[in-house]
Amino acid sequence: MKVQLKSVTRENWEEALALKVQKQQSNFVPQVAVSLAKVYIKPDGDNIVYLPFAIYDNEKMVGFIMHAYDENTTNMYWINGFIIDENYQGKGYGRAALTEMVHWIANRFTICKEIRLTVYRENENAFKLYKSFGFLPTGDVYGEEDVWFLPII
């Protein structure tokens, strides 16, 4: 399966806001509106850049993913706010989107040596996806989430 990552813009932001996960998953990921707010609020500091993307299957928006990074580092390249809409889960979109995001980061930032993300232990689907993709636990905890990393060789 092939998906496309397209910037969230004034043309598609309302559609992105309508994305939602299943009710039992709602505590595991921020709403898209919260992720988009981070672009302007910069809660992690002025040196962090946030890039929000809509995930598309052809012309159909199926999810959202955001990349946050500090370009002056080798390990501060994060994937966050990652959701697949409840209507499209279980169809391979998560893995396809993760593959696209990892390739995008690695190709754009040659200094990047690892990509990080956080995951709730109770989020079994995400946990399995990240583990099968090659992400490894750092041993660090951010809030209530475990921090994982993917080495970029």
For the chain, the domain total comes to 1
Q: Tens of pLDDT along 89-109?
A: 999 999 999 999 999 999 999
Do you know the residue count of the chain?
153
Long-range contacts of the stretch 14-19 (C-beta < 8 A, 24+): 15/54, 15/61, 16/52, 16/54, 16/61, 16/64, 19/61, 19/63, 19/64, 19/83, 19/85
Integer angstrom CA distances of residue 74 from 47, 98, 139:
14, 19, 18
Q: Tens of pLDDT along 104-125?
A: 999 999 999 999 999 999 999 9
Q: Tens of pLDDT along 55-71?
A: 999 999 999 999 999 99
User: Does residue 131 surpass a pLDDT of 90?
Assistant: yes
Integer angstrom CA distances of residue 130 from 50, 52, 120, 148:
21, 20, 12, 8
Integer angstrom CA distances of residue 36 from 13, 54, 82, 95, 103:
9, 11, 12, 22, 22
Q: Looking at residue 49, what DSSP letter applies?
A: E
More confident residue, 118 or 1: 118
User: Which two structure tokens, joined as six digits, stand for 145?
Assistant: 């989430």
Integer angstrom CA distances of residue 61 from 27, 31, 98, 104:
22, 16, 15, 18
For residue 38, the domain's CATH number is 3.40.630.30
Q: What is the mean pLDDT of the chain?
A: 96
pLDDT at 65: 98
User: What range defines the domain where residue 10 resides?
Assistant: 4-151
User: Does residue 1 surpass a pLDDT of 90?
Assistant: no
State the amino acid at position 39 in one-letter form: V
pLDDT at 153: 82
Give the global pTM.
0.95
